[in-house]
Structure 1
Amino acid sequence: MKALNKIRYAFLVCTLMVLVTLAGCNSADRSAEPPQSSHQGSEQEGAKKTPLNVEVFNLGERSMFAVSSVLVTGTADAILIDTQFSAADARQLVDKIKASGKRLKAIYISHGDPDYYFGLDSVHAAFPEAKVFATPQTIAHIQATKDAKLKLWAPQLGQDAPKQILIPEPMQGDQLVLEGQELRIIGMDGPTPDRTFVWIPSSRTVAGGISVMGAQHVWMADTQTPQSHMEWLAVLDRIKSMDPKVVVPGHFLPGASLDVRSVTFTADYIRAFDEETVKAKDSAALIAAMKQRYPGLGGEGSLELSAKVAKGEMEWK
């Protein structure tokens, strides 16, 4: 009997040892599994979402400056980038937003020149619940120049001049969020945070703002130094590096490419303008040289004023 008890005891001990070993192995297996971080989860969740839709509003030759506004929409809500120059154009933009059936949640002003924000009071009157944002540097630009710009343009705009200049709120961070998907404000960390562009990852779209032009002479009067042109070219290189499928130029005329070709066009134009500025004896020679390089290109008024500024024949602030 004692021998039998010893055998039973030994069997029990061995069984317990096997169970303990198996439990340890299972625990080790679980600890070796890769953790599911919250970031991984959000990426997987984002991949399932429908890309944000992008609609471009640009009246081309029917508008004084052929400036672009971009309406980014989700299933129910929308964000608007830039608000046109004249009240008449802004009212047409309002009609487009209303026709979308979306609720306008926010407006982003990408630059402090009046063609980007003079229409803001008309748009905001139609959508008073929408928050209006810009970078602190763009806000400073608007505040420093708005009175002079209004004095300059009000006589030409007449009843289509803004009734009041609305000042945006400063951005908190570098992105806006629409239905859980981000719109990144690019350039806040660079040397020209008053000249930003917007990157929409879900549709691989760039709203190029002031930095990108299409099918027209590039406005050069605001950038009057070699350093400013180098910084501009760096922004264009940054856009290219993001490999966008769609690029919306801040200004464009019919025939413009809404892709990276407009980025290349703008960069080539900047370099050509710099080369010809050095060689030209005056603005007339510079204008002639640029027309020869770009025959038939629209927006000659921009070229004429830019050439006068570049050759010191006119002051522009």
Structure 2
Amino acid sequence: MTVCSEAEEPIFTGDTTSSPQIGRLMTLTYTVFDAAPGSLNKTSVVVSGETEALVVDAGFTRADGHRIVAEVLDSGKTLTRVVITAGDPDFYFGAEVIADAFPEATFSAPADVIEHIQHSYEGKLQAWAHLGANLPTRLVDIAELTETVLTVDDTQIEVRRGSDQLGDRAWYLFEPASRSLIGGVLLFEGLHVWTADSATPELRAEWVRVLETLEALAPAYVVAGHRVAGAPTDLTAITHTRDYLRFFEQTVTESATAEDAKAKLLAAYPDAGLVIAADLGTKVAKGEMTWG
């Protein structure tokens, strides 16, 4: 656990691989739950103030949902809202567990995220059937998120969309007071970047442009939507994702096949997790398969 006082610049050090990562920034505390590789290294964040808590993304499995519930209970705060920032199942499959534990909490997401979830839910249940009892048994009610500013005990958190082109894969949260950024599906750290949903060079170039706008915010605290456990909370997530996308573009352009491109990615990022992203992403980019 790492702490900085309200008057200091945020400083994050120490071993966080065995417990949730906690950052004290201004009047809010950010507790990051790092899911296991089997849950695609998805992060969920409990943002808490003096009396209230907000959860960002609900986890991939029922077990992940229970762990998020435990973090909220340990905080001693009242959970007011769960915000889902993308329509992929690792962002919401754990929601029903949280809803059952906190029936008064509101679940909300941008309209295009809700549309994605409703359109793909049944298919995703089939695709991830091997999760068995860890699958959700129902889709919770998710209200359309129309606000551009959320509050946790009067501290404002902005809901931002980085690009119209990227659709529901462009949402992130930013707290101006402490320059804290929750990057959602836009950011990966210590992992191969999931490109299968960004099938064209144009979409990937737009993604890079959005990353440059995130870097221009000069955030002091950054949480990637997917990361290795306990990863740094500095600009690394932004630079890693951007550099990977640029190398990915060069690699798929120069490679004759997806297998060739994948081999180059694995050689360039030998320690990166989420290898399935390199496998599927190169196949989609080379036109050897479709996704979504």
Q: 4+ residue runs of structure 1 moved beyond 2 angstroms?
A: 188-193, 254-257
Q: TM-score, normalised by structure 2?
A: 0.87
Shift of 1:50: 4.8
Matched, 1:101 2:76: yes
Matched, 1:242 2:186: no
For 2:253 and 2:157, the matched residues in 1 are separated by 40
**Which residue does the alignment assign to 1:176?**
150
**Which residue does the alignment assign to 2:121?**
146
Report percent identity of matched pairs.
33
Shift of 1:297: 1.7
SS in structure 2 of the partner of residue 296 of structure 1: coil
Q: Residues 258-302 of structure 1: CA distance to partner in whole angstroms, max 9, x if unpaired? A: 211210110010011111101111111011111122122222122
Shift of 1:314: 1.9
Shift of 1:120: 0.6
SS in structure 2 of the partner of residue 276 of structure 1: helix
Counting only pairs closer than 5 Å after superposition, residues 70-219 of structure 1 correspond to structure 2 as 70-153=45-128, 155-187=129-161, 190-195=164-169, 196-219=171-194
Cα RMSD after superposing both structures: 1.6
Shift of 1:81: 0.3
Amino acid at match of 2:190: A
For 1:254 and 1:70, the matched residues in 2 are separated by 13
Structure possessing the higher radius of gyration over alpha carbons: 1
**Which residue does the alignment assign to 2:10?**
none
Aligned length: 267
Structure 2: any 5+ residue segments left out of the alignment? 1-24
Given that 1:215 and 1:255 are in contact with CA atoms closer than 8 Å, whether structure 2 keeps it comes out as: no
For 1:105 and 1:255, the matched residues in 2 are separated by 26
Shift of 1:51: 2.0
Shift of 1:189: 6.7
Q: Residues 117-153 of structure 1: CA distance to partner in whole angstroms, max 9, x if unpaired? A: 0111111110110111111111111111111111211
Of the three residues 30, 43, 61, the one matched with 1:54 is 30
Pick the structure with more helix per residue: 1
For 1:158 and 1:271, the matched residues in 2 are separated by 37
SS in structure 2 of the partner of residue 111 of structure 1: coil
Of the three residues 228, 239, 249, the one matched with 1:274 is 249
**Which residue does the alignment assign to 2:263?**
288
**Which residue does the alignment assign to 2:203?**
228
Q: TM-score, normalised by structure 1?
A: 0.81
For 1:106 and 1:188, the matched residues in 2 are separated by 22
Shift of 1:192: 3.2
Go from structure 1 to structure 2 and tell me whether the alpha carbon gap of 1:87 and 1:279 turns closer, same or farther (over 3 Å shift): same
For 1:60 and 1:260, the matched residues in 2 are separated by 22
Structure 1: any 5+ residue segments left out of the alignment? 1-48
Shift of 1:193: 4.7
Of the three residues 277, 280, 289, the one matched with 1:305 is 280
SS in structure 1 of the partner of residue 39 of structure 2: coil
